[in-house]
């Protein structure tokens, strides 16, 4: 297995490995260590069926729960992110976020496997939440250290959320629900269980407020931190290739899917790994 870090940014390219067959214990250990070290794992040239994607994911940990989205038939843990050539709906995941931060135990990893890649557009942006935290002034770190943020899925997935009221038909089946209005409270500064490093844990999609803070003050701080965390200096722009697998760490990154491929089919298969209670 060869490991080649991206220069001057997060992400590491893994080569000389096959993910369509069982991995050795040392291969799993090395993959997870590279993931801890570089946050975004990129493995090109991996033709995988949904069954093989499931088998690979199970070797890394417990499969996560993906609410509000209808899974592939016969594969309850695999989501197909599909946008047809004539589809007018916005790109799914097109705002900076950390997957499912509204859960009590948000996913540690999201794994995305490219099935059909359009010839233009469709890149994914990743922002380094470790670097964003480390770049804060020391007095700001002290100010934020004990704050706890309120997360909820109601913005996109609530009964009156974005996906319930959008005007364009969407191929993906989204399930809007009252359950999306539930909230979870997590630290604004999160400590990574694998490395001990601290990261900004806030995003525009799911972070609705800050515990004990007036709403206008909380919204101002959330927007300030989200703008800080997604500056160009912290961002890696990922260009997809067919059969490429990418696995990222939701505990210390945000990501955003880009559009720009109208008239072309884009298909991805997606799974998550269950995480832990943020601390």
* pLDDT (average), residues 61-65: 97
Identify which of 3, 67, 77, 66 has the alpha carbon closest to the alpha carbon of residue 40. Answer: 3
SS3 37: helix
134 membership: H or E segment, kind and range: helix 129-134
Contacts of 249 (CB under 8 A, 6+ apart): 35, 36, 39, 40, 108, 109, 192
11: left (phi over 0), alpha (psi -120 to 50) or beta: left
What is the homologous superfamily of the domain 2-273 according to CATH? Clavaminate synthase-like (3.60.130.10)
Write out pLDDT tens, residues 83-134: 999 999 999 999 999 999 999 999 999 999 999 999 999 999 999 999 999 9
**pTM of the complete model beyond 0.95:** yes
Asked if the model's pLDDT at residue 21 lies above 90, the reply is yes
Q: Domain-by-domain residue ranges, the chain?
A: 2-273
The region of weakest confidence among 135-144, 163-172, 245-254, 270-279 is: 163-172
Q: What percent of the chain has pLDDT over 70?
A: 100
How confident is the model at residue 8, as a pLDDT? Answer: 84
Break the chain down into helix, strand, coil percent, rounded to 5.
25, 30, 50
Give the pLDDT band (50/70/90) at residue 7: confident
Write out pLDDT tens, residues 182-229: 999 999 999 999 999 999 999 999 999 999 999 999 999 999 999 999
């Amino acid at each position: 297995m060869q490991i080649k870090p991206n220069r001057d940014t997060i992400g590491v390219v893994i080569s000389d490995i096959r993910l369509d067959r069982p991995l050795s214990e040392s291969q799993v250990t090395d993959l997870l260590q590279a993931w801890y070290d570089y946050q975004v794992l990129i493995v090109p040239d991996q033709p995988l069926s949904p069954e093989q994607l499931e088998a690979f994911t199970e070797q890394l940990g417990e499969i996560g729960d993906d609410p509000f989205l209808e899974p592939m038939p016969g594969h309850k843990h695999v989501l197909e992110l599909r946008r047809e050539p004539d589809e007018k709906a916005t790109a799914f995941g097109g705002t900076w976020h950390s997957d499912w931060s509204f859960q009590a135990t948000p996913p540690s990893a999201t794994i995305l496997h490219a099935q059909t890649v359009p010839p233009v557009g469709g890149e994914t942006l990743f922002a380094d939440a470790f670097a964003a935290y480390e770049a804060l002034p020391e007095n700001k770190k002290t100010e934020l250290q004990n704050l706890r943020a309120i997360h909820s899925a109601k913005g996109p997935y609530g009964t009156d959320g974005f996906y319930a009221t959008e005007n364009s038909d969407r191929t993906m089946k989204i399930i809007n629900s009252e359950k999306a209005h539930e909230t979870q409270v997590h630290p604004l500064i999160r400590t990574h269980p694998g490395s001990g490093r601290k990261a900004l844990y806030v995003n525009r999609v799911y972070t609705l407020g800050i515990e004990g803070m007036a709403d206008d003050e909380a919204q101002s701080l959330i927007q300030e931190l989200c703008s800080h965390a997604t500056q160009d200096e912290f961002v890696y722009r990922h260009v997809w290739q067919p059969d490429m697998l990418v696995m990222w760490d939701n505990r210390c990154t945000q990501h955003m899917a880009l559009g720009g491929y109208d008239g072309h089919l884009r298909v991805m298969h997606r799974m998550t790994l269950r995480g832990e209670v943020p601390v």
